[in-house]
Structures are given as structure tokens and as C-alpha cells.
């Protein structure tokens, strides 16, 4: 690791002393994940589904097991309904572009990340009517506001994140599912900041589709995302290609899941690493989430104890995912992030966090925010170190 005092940006080892950017990606990965990825690369190198020889079969079985582990963790009764995608963004694109057609109308909350906002902008150009419901200043979408819009005109889908990557606000998905289904609409969810950090039971949640990242709260490697699609929802596939099985002589994609939505060679190391993470979270997820809540509480309180900070999102003690973003009266968010890195070897993110809608909603579009994301491996000492450094920077 770099010496906190040296500030040497050219050091060969870029690992920070304190990592508080878990909302962007989890790090360090649990040893179980590292070991599983390593085993995939060294022992399971065959192409899954593309051969019946021992190493290809072993890779296929490892992916089968990973899918089942993840389905168990996320409350998906039939693991075929849980699709591997290159990222949560790709999963969101499939979820939205696979279900919406010109002439459809959707109602969406104003806290969405660009993984949803940008596909919706493209769909709007193609003739989808996009109605944005303004969240409150803490980032919470009011189900009453959503119902008012859904009742106003036939609506194909209600679209909402599980939790905000900016404010940590947890959205009322259960209420939104009830509203959507009462009016014959779908509920489509971007769960990038939800799965892993929250106890997710997709069968009970009522979402018709739920996209999530594999490398954030779920602790897997980068380059792997998930899309749950309820069994009754007929998404149109967005990519065609080989699947390794089924009727290869036809030029159309198979209708069966998961192959219909998984054209091309899968990310075997990513999937197997994510499967190992799922097993770890199934065993230790409760303790993990309790630890995160305690760290968030201390971080939130500590920031408010420093003069000039406004913390975005829910008030102290209220439920949130482990994301705490703040703005300071006089010191720019970007500068705080830069100084934390250069002077203290602490990794956080400043700026707009790929969520301009959310920044506009909470009034930080012009100034951005400095974001602290806690997760696996973060300790109370890390949080106290960061708070002390922040106090020095802004004083």
C-alpha cells in the first residue's frame, strides 16, 4: 500500500489504506471469491455448455451450481429465471428494451441512475412515454404520487430503483408492486444497490423484473450482473448468438430460459466467483448487514459533527443502504475526494455518480457530492480515520 504520508501517485501498488467506495464496487473481495475465480481460471477452463468433455462439463456444472446458489440467496424459486448478464447496466437495458414498445407509457421515479435513465431516454426517442415522478428531498419516491400517475392513463410499467446510489434511500418496492399490479402494470427494478446490502426475497417482493450488480453488495467480481425475470414476463431478447445447446440449426434464439437471454460464452470466472460470494452471504449475510448498519450510523453522525456538512438522504438512524453522501458549505466534493486520496490514502468518490436525475432531485446537480460507501472489510477504525481526515481537510 502507499504510504499515507508520501502521496506518491506513481507507486506500483495502488491499493488504498482505507477503501470507502463500496457503492462503486466492493473491495477487497472475500478470499472465497478470489479462490473461486482462481480455480475457474486454472481448473475449469472449458467453455460451459460447449462440450461434453470433463473440463467443459465441470465449468457447466459450476455455473449451474452458482445460479442455484444465487437463486437461493435472492429468493428465486426457479433458477432458470435468474439470468447472467455482463453487468447491471446490461441487465437494465434488457429489462427495459425487452419489455417496452413504442406507444407504451411508463412511470419512473426521479432518483434513477443513468443505467435506467439513458435507456429510457433512448426509448422515449422511439415513442415510449416516460413520466417522471419527483421524489422528496431525501430521495424517497411516494407511492401515492406513483399511483396518481398510474391511474391517470394505461401504464405498461412502474420503474424504480431498490435503493439510491447517491442518498442510500430505500424505495418502498412492496407498495409500488401492489400499485403496479392493481392497475395491470409491471414493476421493473434496478437493484444495483440493493442485493447483498438488503435481504432480498424476489418471489415475495413482487417485482416482475429485477436487475442487479454482481460486484457491489453481492461481493462478486466485476463484469457480472444478474437479471431476474418473473416466469410470466416475456422479454424480447436483445442479443442473438450461440447458446451451445438446443436446436442449433435454427437461426432464431431458443425460447427456453436461461439460454434465450445468454447468447455467447458466459463469464465463467465472474459467475463462479459470484456463486462463491452467494454462499458466503447466505451464511454470513445477517452479520454483514448489521456491521454495515453500524458503520453507516457512525459515518453519518460523524459527518454531521463536522461543521459545514449536509448529509443527503434519510435522517440519522433511518434505514438506508450503506451509502452516505454529503456536501460541504465551502469545500468542493471533488476536492475532498482528491485530498482524501492524495494526503490520507483514503478512497472515496466525488462528483455526480452517474445519477444526474438524483442530484437534481436532492439539489446537488451543480455541486455534486462526496460519497462514502461501506461494505465487506470496512472497520470502525477505517471510518474514524476517514472522519478525522475529512475534518482536517475542511477546517
Partner 1 sequence: MSRRTPESFVVLGFATTHAALAAERLLLDIGVPVTPIPAPKGLGQLCGIALRLAPADAVRAEGALANADIAPKARTTMTDV
Residues that bind partner 1 (CB under 8 A): 48-49, 51-52, 57, 60-61, 64, 67, 79-80, 243-250, 254, 256-259
Spell out the residues 6+ positions from residue 329 whose beta carbon is closer than 8 angstroms to its own.
308, 309, 310
| Shortest Cβ 236–partner 1 spacing (Å) | 18
Pairwise CA distance, residues 12 & 300, whole Å: 33
Question: What are the two backbone dihedrals, phi and then psi, of residue 277, each rounded to the nearest 5 degrees?
Answer: -65, -40
Q: Shortest gap between Cβ of 76 and partner 1 (angstroms)? A: 13
Which CB, 248 or 379, lies closer to partner 1? 248
The distance of closest approach from Cβ of residue 53 to partner 1 in the complex, given in angstroms and rounded to an integer, is 9
Other residues' Cβ atoms within 10 Å of the Cβ of residue 88: 27
Which residue, 5 or 247, is less far from partner 1 as judged by CB? 247
**How many Å apart are CA 306 and CA 326, to the nearest integer?**
11
Helix axes 54-74, 268-305, angle to 10 degrees: 30
Least distance from C-beta 192 to partner 1, angstroms?
A: 25
User: Judged by CB, which is closer to partner 1: 81, or 190?
Assistant: 81
Q: Which is nearer to partner 1, 230 or 393 (CB)?
A: 230
Nearest distance in Å: CB 276, partner 1:
18
Which position among 80, 88, 160, 354 bears the catalytic label?
354
Is 92 among the residues known to form the active site? no
Residue 231 or 379 having the CB closest to partner 1: 231
Helix (H), strand (E), coil (C) string for 259-301 = HHHCCCCCCHHHHHHHHHHHHHHHHHHHHHHHHHHHHHHHHHH
State the DSSP string of 156-188: SEEEEESB-TTT-PBP-HHHHHHHHHHTT-EEE
Strand 18-19 with 346-347, pairing: parallel
Active site positions, annotated: 354
Amino acid at each position: 500500500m502507499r504510504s499515507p504520508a508520501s502521496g506518491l501517485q506513481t507507486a506500483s501498488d495502488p491499493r488504498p489504506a482505507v477503501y470507502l467506495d463500496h457503492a462503486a464496487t466492493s473491495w477487497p473481495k472475500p478470499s472465497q471469491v478470489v479462490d473461486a475465480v482462481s480455480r475457474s481460471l486454472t481448473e475449469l477452463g472449458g467453455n460451459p455448455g460447449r462440450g461434453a468433455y470433463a473440463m467443459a462439463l465441470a465449468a457447466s456444472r459450476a455455473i449451474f451450481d452458482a445460479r442455484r446458489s444465487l437463486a437461493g440467496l435472492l429468493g428465486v424459486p426457479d433458477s432458470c429465471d435468474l439470468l447472467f448478464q455482463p453487468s447491471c447496466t446490461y441487465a437494465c437495458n434488457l429489462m427495459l428494451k425487452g419489455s417496452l414498445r413504442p406507444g407504451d407509457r411508463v412511470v419512473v421515479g426521479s432518483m434513477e441512475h443513468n443505467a435506467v435513465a439513458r435507456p429510457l431516454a433512448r426509448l422515449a426517442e422511439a415513442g415510449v412515454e416516460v413520466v417522471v415522478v419527483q421524489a422528496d428531498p431525501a430521495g424517497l419516491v411516494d407511492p401515492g404520487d406513483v399511483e396518481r400517475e398510474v391511474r391517470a392513463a394505461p401504464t405498461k410499467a412502474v420503474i424504480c430503483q431498490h435503493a439510491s446510489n447517491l442518498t442510500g434511500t430505500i424505495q418502498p418496492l412492496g407498495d409500488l408492486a401492489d400499485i403496479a399490479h392493481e392497475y395491470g402494470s409491471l414493476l421493473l427494478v434496478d437493484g444495483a444497490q440493493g442485493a447483498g446490502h438488503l435481504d432480498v426475497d424476489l418471489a415475495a417482493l413482487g417485482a416482475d423484473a429485477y436487475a442487479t450488480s454482481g460486484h457491489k453488495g453481492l461481493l462478486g467480481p466485476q463484469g457480472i450482473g444478474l437479471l431476474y425475470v418473473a416466469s410470466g414476463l416475456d422479454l424480447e431478447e436483445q442479443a442473438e448468438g450461440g447458446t451451445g445447446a438446443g436446436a442449433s440449426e435454427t437461426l432464431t434464439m431458443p425460447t427456453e430460459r436461461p439460454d434465450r437471454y445468454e447468447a455467447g460464452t458466459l463469464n465463467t470466472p465472474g459467475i463462479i466467483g459470484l456463486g462463491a460470494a452467494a454462499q458466503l452471504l447466505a451464511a454470513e449475510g445477517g452479520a454483514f448487514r448489521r456491521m454495515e448498519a453500524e458503520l453507516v450510523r457512525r459515518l453519518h453522525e460523524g459527518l454531521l459533527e463536522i461543521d459545514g456538512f449536509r448529509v443527503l438522504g434519510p435522517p440519522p438512524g433511518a434505514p438506508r443502504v450503506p451509502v452516505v453522501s454529503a456536501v460541504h458549505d465551502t469545500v468542493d466534493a471533488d476536492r475532498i475526494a482528491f485530498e482524501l486520496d492524495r494526503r490520507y490514502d483514503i478512497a472515496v468518490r466525488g462528483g455526480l455518480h452517474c445519477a444526474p436525475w438524483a442530484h437534481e432531485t436532492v439539489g446537488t446537480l451543480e455541486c455534486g457530492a462526496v460519497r462514502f460507501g461501506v461494505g465487506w472489510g470496512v472497520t470502525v477504525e477505517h471510518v474514524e480515520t476517514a472522519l478525522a481526515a475529512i475534518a482536517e481537510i475542511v477546517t
